[in-house]
Structure 1
Amino acid sequence: MITKDLVLRIFSAANILRWNDHIRPFDFFELDKQAHKMIIAYIVAKFEEENGRSVDWIKLIEGGIFEFFQRIMLTDLKPEVFHELMSKKEKELHKWVVENLDEDLSALGGGIRENFDEYFTNPDYAKFEKRILSAAHCMSTKWEFGIIYPWNAMLYGIEKTKQSIDEAIATFDDLSGIRKLIINKKYYGFLDLCGQLRFQQRWAQAFRIPKTTVLGHMLTAAIFSYIFSKEMNASDARIFNNFYSALFHDLPEILTKDIVKPIKSSIAGLEDIIKIYEKKQVDEKILPLIPESWHAQMQYFIENEFADKITENGKVKEVKNAADFNDAKYNAIDGTLTEICDKLCAYVEASMSLEYGIKSETLLKSKQTVYDKYSNIKKGNLNFKQIFDYFR
């Protein structure tokens, strides 16, 4: 079971500033960068599959999470410093990271601890997936730099930074996904829209620390979903679906913003109206930005996102328990797990703010409401009360 320390480490990325030696129109945080990177990696990997290349999606997901954990531990290093250290002391740095994360990783099931070590010590392990993640890292950096560049045009060295980013992306021109994102404005538009979710802070009516965004929240929910799916011994198909369903579950908020729960639930039928409106907006403004062949999968991820679902005879069917359909042929999604992960994130966010000394009726009431409704839920061999009780 995930430890309290690892939960706090994951959320600590919402406090890690990026570009903090540059003029910024707003603060960039590492959690949002990593979330955007994982979305871009999905885009690139999908294009690579269409181009006939095989992608190991579980290794791609794991690799993205492992690199995120590594980055949390080696925080606040400039990229050139990080790469210089890694080129000369990679084994020593990895050993230090593993030693500091060993207790947290060893507490997880599904061979996560062993895979973490293999990922960073074996250069041939997940070689293609590592390349996709590296490319996604560069593209998300380029997106951020596009915002801060006009504010720093007068600074010494800014043109060199721009050149190094462009040159880094050019090294991935063998990836069809990168070429298409650069050439096709429509596909880049999807990348751009997803990036804009970092502008939307969660809990709009409550002051909090850290000020998590919708984009960062989607990643924390997806990481929880991945860890819990592994511990439930879910099939690779379910792990894939559960991770990306959680990663994209708030995608419609690009268009609708984060409508707070009290408003959704205060008027009978309002939540259904919002869902219908979101679907219409997704169909008209988001899906056209990705290849038509991806539409069904994206809709499967984000429609009725909190329901357990399978695909049977080409049709989506809601089921009571996705675990009963673990075979890959059912293409199952544990939507109820996505909901628990979503609410667990909200609970941790409220708890952290309260521990920082920010007292508000909204945070106290929301924390208690989530605890009362979700802490006693059991799913498979998972008992979520232990995790909720970390923050009692």
Structure 2
Amino acid sequence: MRSIRKSLLQFIFSGASMRRWNDKLRPVELFELDKQAHKMIAAFLLWQQNTAGMSDEEQRRIGIDIIEGGIFDYFYRLIITDIKPPVFYRIKANSEHYRELTAWTLKELEPRIRPLDEDFWQRLTAYHSRPAEESNALSDRILSAAHMYASRWEFCLIEPLNGFDEEIKEIGPSFNKRLLALKDVDGVNELLAGSGTALARMANLCGQLRFQIRWAQTPRVPATSVLGHMFIVAVYSYLFSLYLDGCPQRRINDFYCGLFHDLAELLTRDIITPVKRSVAQLPEIIHQYEDEELHSKILDPLEQEGYGHIRERLDYYLGLTTKSEFHDTFRTDQGIQKADGFADLQARCNDDRFDPKDGQLIKACDNLAAFIEAYSSIHNGLGSPHLYEAMARMRRDISAIRLGSFSLAPLLADFD
């Protein structure tokens, strides 16, 4: 019997405590969760660029492969957390050593992942067990390029502070060599163009969301960033959509809606709920400002530089037509339509041709991620009256959520 368990949700969140470049001098702490979010944002841009001329079915297949490949890689990375990349690449170069490491990693992952969905588990196993020569599909190359881009972005932050480190002199050329081998992936040159293209500017702006800490006035351990939170919501949304038998296009939409749902906080910062509710007109003022800034800084430049197809998908994920990313929506010949809640979307529109996107599910995952942020900090020994109050409120709200026949109350009951 399929199930979503507390252990899986906490496992996904654990990347918030996993430091990167831990043996280097860093201007800020860099965490795995943030890197994975930045990687998947870059992967989205490259996916859109490289599949623009393909059929909907082919684009969808590659989209699923990219999302699941990204999730599979993240799960693997969480298990082998203590192995430095140079050491891991040496292990990977030896097929026997890599096979042994993978067998152990899969054994560690199985009790966390397999209860969710047997087919998903089999895809994860096949992904990590395939020979190296079978890892050169377009989806693999997009993920590799996105991984290199996000890691190189971090490297550019720490490089000026580590001139005394002999290893630094080797890392930069290594990135350049590996990215050069992926120049055939459309969009890689644009991403590497600094701020010279709308594509690069968007990816760079998104990377800066790692500097914005959520719950800024409330000390927490770990102190998650807006960027990391977006990735948690994206993965939760994908797995819940999978669990609820969402069609492939719905799963893609739910993942990227989760990944981009706080994009506007590039422009307004993370404003906590009590402040938003303090003045009756404040939510509308904030929304208007967010809309104007999103258009001027991100959406309009994409349109003007020939990336209209990317701008159109972002419009849909951000809910700009319906005024909220948390509306359940679908498409017909008449354009974007609002479904009458989750049950209506599930019953009538769970089909690729409707381009369905969950809103209530994304909002539930957003709240669930926030709950786990508060819960984890308290159980790590750093609580406050504000955190206890927020956790109690979110527990009450989330426990009341029903997605069709699925209730989140039993899941919350595991968090004592």
TM-score of the two chains, using structure 2 as the length reference? 0.91
Q: Does 1:332 align with 2:356?
A: yes
Equivalent pairs, count = 392
Say which SS state the counterpart of residue 311 (structure 1) adopts: strand
Q: Distance in 1 between matches of 2:135 and 2:5?
A: 27
Which residue of the partner structure matches residue 3 of structure 1? Answer: 5
Could you tell me which of 30, 35, 38 is aligned with 1:36?
Answer: 38
Which residue of the partner structure matches residue 271 of structure 2? Answer: 259
Q: Distance in 1 between matches of 2:386 and 2:201?
A: 36
Which residue of the partner structure matches residue 153 of structure 1? Answer: 163
The alpha carbon displacement at 1:128 in A equals 2.3
Which residue of the partner structure matches residue 306 of structure 1? Answer: 326
Q: Contact 2:48–2:309 (CA<8 Å) still a contact in 1?
A: no
The alpha carbon displacement at 1:87 in A equals 2.0
Which residue of the partner structure matches residue 116 of structure 1? Answer: 124
Q: Contact 2:220–2:383 (CA<8 Å) still a contact in 1?
A: no
Deviations 1:183-226 (A, max 9, x none): 44332111100000000001111100111000000010011111
The alpha carbon displacement at 1:52 in A equals 5.1
Q: Contact 2:40–2:70 (CA<8 Å) still a contact in 1?
A: yes
Which residue of the partner structure matches residue 270 of structure 1? Answer: 282
Q: Distance in 2 between matches of 1:389 and 1:125?
A: 41
Say which SS state the counterpart of residue 370 (structure 1) adopts: helix
The alpha carbon displacement at 1:3 in A equals 2.1
Could you tell me which of 227, 238, 243 is aligned with 2:255?
Answer: 243
Which residue of the partner structure matches residue 194 of structure 1? Answer: 206
Q: Distance in 2 between matches of 1:125 and 1:85?
A: 17
Q: Does 1:228 align with 2:228?
A: no
Q: Distance in 2 between matches of 1:263 and 1:13?
A: 29
Q: Contact 2:374–2:391 (CA<8 Å) still a contact in 1?
A: yes
Which residue of the partner structure matches residue 411 of structure 2? Answer: 387
The alpha carbon displacement at 1:313 in A equals 2.3
Q: Contact 1:119–1:126 (CA<8 Å) still a contact in 2?
A: no
The alpha carbon displacement at 1:289 in A equals 4.2
Say which SS state the counterpart of residue 330 (structure 2) adopts: strand
Could you tell me which of 373, 386, 389 is aligned with 1:365?
Answer: 389
Deviations 1:4-43 (A, max 9, x none): 2222221111111111111111100011001111111111
The alpha carbon displacement at 1:85 in A equals 1.1
Which residue of the partner structure matches residue 80 of structure 1? Answer: 86
Q: Contact 2:330–2:339 (CA<8 Å) still a contact in 1?
A: yes
TM-score of the two chains, using structure 1 as the length reference? 0.96
Q: Contact 1:23–1:151 (CA<8 Å) still a contact in 2?
A: yes
Q: Does 1:98 align with 2:98?
A: no
Q: Contact 1:110–1:230 (CA<8 Å) still a contact in 2?
A: no
The alpha carbon displacement at 1:314 in A equals 4.5
Please tell me the residue identity of whatever aligns with 2:315: Q
* Change in 2 beyond 3 A, CA 1:200/1:214: same
Could you tell me which of 152, 169, 178 is aligned with 1:168?
Answer: 178
Q: Distance in 1 between matches of 2:358 and 2:411?
A: 19
Please tell me the residue identity of whatever aligns with 2:391: K
The alpha carbon displacement at 1:110 in A equals 6.3
Say which SS state the counterpart of residue 201 (structure 1) adopts: coil
Q: Distance in 2 between matches of 1:373 and 1:145?
A: 41
Q: Contact 1:135–1:172 (CA<8 Å) still a contact in 2?
A: yes
Say which SS state the counterpart of residue 28 (structure 1) adopts: coil
Q: Distance in 1 between matches of 2:136 and 2:359?
A: 28
Say which SS state the counterpart of residue 50 (structure 1) adopts: coil
Q: Contact 1:14–1:29 (CA<8 Å) still a contact in 2?
A: yes
In structure 1, list runs of 5 or more residues that go unmatched.
none
Residue correspondence of structure 1 range 205-216 to structure 2 within 5 A: 205-216=217-228
Q: Which moved more, 1:41-50 or 1:373-382?
A: 373-382
Q: Distance in 2 between matches of 1:253 and 1:359?
A: 25
Say which SS state the counterpart of residue 150 (structure 1) adopts: helix
Could you tell me which of 52, 64, 73 is aligned with 2:70?
Answer: 64
Q: Contact 1:242–1:333 (CA<8 Å) still a contact in 2?
A: yes
Q: Distance in 2 between matches of 1:270 and 1:237?
A: 35
Q: Contact 1:305–1:335 (CA<8 Å) still a contact in 2?
A: yes
Identical pairs, percent: 35
What is the alpha-carbon root mean square deviation over aligned residues? 1.6
Say which SS state the counterpart of residue 228 (structure 1) adopts: helix
In structure 2, list runs of 5 or more residues that go unmatched.
none
Q: Contact 1:221–1:246 (CA<8 Å) still a contact in 2?
A: yes
The alpha carbon displacement at 1:121 in A equals 1.5
Which residue of the partner structure matches residue 346 of structure 2? Answer: 323
Q: Which moved more, 1:64-73 or 1:105-114?
A: 105-114
Q: Distance in 1 between matches of 2:411 and 2:25?
A: 39
Q: Distance in 2 between matches of 1:250 and 1:176?
A: 27
Q: Contact 1:47–1:177 (CA<8 Å) still a contact in 2?
A: yes
